[in-house]
Structure formats: structure tokens, C-alpha cells
Homo-oligomer: A and B are copies of this chain.
Amino acid sequence: MTPAELRVMLDAVSEGRLEPELAHRQVLTAMREEPFEDLGFARVDHHRAIRQGFPEVILGLGKSPDQIATIAARIMARDGPLLITRADQLAWKRVQEMNPEAIYHELARAITVRREMPQGKGTVVIASAGTSDLPVAEEAAVTADLMGNEVERIYDIGVAGIHRLLSARDRLSSARVIVVVAGMEGALPSVVAGMVDVPVIAVPTSVGYGASFGGIAALLGMLNSCANGVSVVNIDNGFGAGCIASMINHLS
């Protein structure tokens, strides 16, 4: 119930066209209405598309193919774009039965159904340090692409071979926002951020062994970046980075 609708209703009450009893109930309902659908085990948040410009995204991790399919069905029923992250082929099969358009991105472990989206203003660059960071980088790339962004991938430009990074300077400079994915010492975002004047979203990955502690070393490195403009998301959270990059790229 918008303020305007509230006014219309009160005028109706005042003019005798609406019973106060009925008006009472309508206002109370409006104040309590649930802008989501209750599936018992999950509440699909249909208002999110209005609040945040993209429907609820499904984190596949720890959900059964059945649960994933049920939630996906409700989202597709409203004809929105669909994004399921951390999903396997089984979940994809279930979704595909309902919607043959559903695509599985193997490297990114993501399921998508594409819809026309408003386009961001510039390019989102996804840079990564090593070959093993690719799944996370691809999750970011698929996310940003689906959300309506031109995406450019610049992979395997780790800091130990600085000439590889320098050779990508022009392409980095052309971005409106950059996602940098790196494991091990996580130094790439600092070097990249020192070369450009746009926001850098750093994604630590769990790649590495020993004292990398499943991505903690990279995470700490990124949080302590001596360069301006670096903010950080959770370890392996390619989706989160792609989503933030898209938000920034859609700022008018």
C-alpha cells in the first residue's frame, strides 16, 4: 500500500464509500503483508528484484537437487533471470527438465537462465593470478555477464612474472570496475589497484597448500593492501564479487 493508495482509501472512508471495519483490516494487512512465498523450508524473496534489481540468487551449496529445483521453479514462474551457484550437473538436470533454456557453466559450477537486463555503463574486468583460480574467476564472470555487463577476462597474470601484468595495463585501465581473483599470497589486487583509478574487488581463493590455510593468507594479504581502492569479499566468493561489480557498473 503506497502513501497515495492510503490517501485514496481514507477519502473513501470519509465519503462513506468504505466501511471503517474494512479499512481497518486493509491497513493492518498492508502493514503485515509478506512479500515472499513460504515453501516451508525456504521463503522466496520476490521483492528482491524490486529492491536490488535482480531476483534472489540460489546458493546451491548444501541444498539437495530437489530443494534447488523447487526454489528455481518459483523464481522462473515470475520469468526472471535465474542464477544458481555452487551447483552440480544433477541439479542442472532437474532445472533443465523444467526449463530447457537452463545452461550449465562447468568451470564456474553455475546454472543460468538468461533474460534481457539493463546494461551497465562500462566494462567489468575479471583478472586472475593463476590457472587454479579459474573456477572462482569464472563464477564472477558468469554472474556479471548474466546481470547485464560487458565482461573482459584477463587470466594468469600473477605478480611473480610482472611483465605479464604490465602487458595487460591498457586493458585494465579501460575497465569501470575490476574483480581480481588470487590465491596463495594474494598480492595481485594491490599491484593492479596501484595501476588504475577504479574500484578493485578482491577475491581470495582457497588455492594453495600449507600456510595458505585454505585462503586465509590471501584474504589477509588483500585486507592489508597498501593500495587505495581495494575492498574484499569472502574466500572463493566469485558470485559476490561479480554482483558488486555489476552494482557499481550500473550506477547511473
Contact = CB atoms under 8 A, between A and B. Distances in A.
Q: How large is the interface on A (under 10, 10 to 19, 20 to 34, 35 or more residues)?
A: 35 or more
Contact of A225 (B16, B121, B134, B185): B185
A10 B20 contact: yes
A218 to B, nearest CB: 7
Interface string A19-30: 110011001100
Contacts of A7: 20, 24
A159 B41 contact: no
A185 B226 CA distance: 7
Given A36-B161, A129-B226, A235 B247 contact: no
Given A13-B14, A185-B221, A159 B190 contact: yes
A52 B229 contact: yes
Number of copies: 8
A62 to B, nearest CB: 4
Contacts of A177: 251
A78 to B, nearest CB: 16
B62 A207 contact: yes
A73 interface: no
Given A160-B194, A198-B251, 13 more contacts: A10-B20, A41-B155, A45-B161, A51-B197, A57-B228, A129-B226, A184-B226, A185-B185, A191-B191, A197-B247, A210-B223, A221-B221, A223-B234
Contact of A164 (B34, B176, B217): B34
Contacts of A234: 209-212, 223-224
Given A226-B159, A229-B247, A231-B244, A131 B221 contact: no
A159 B182 CA distance: 16
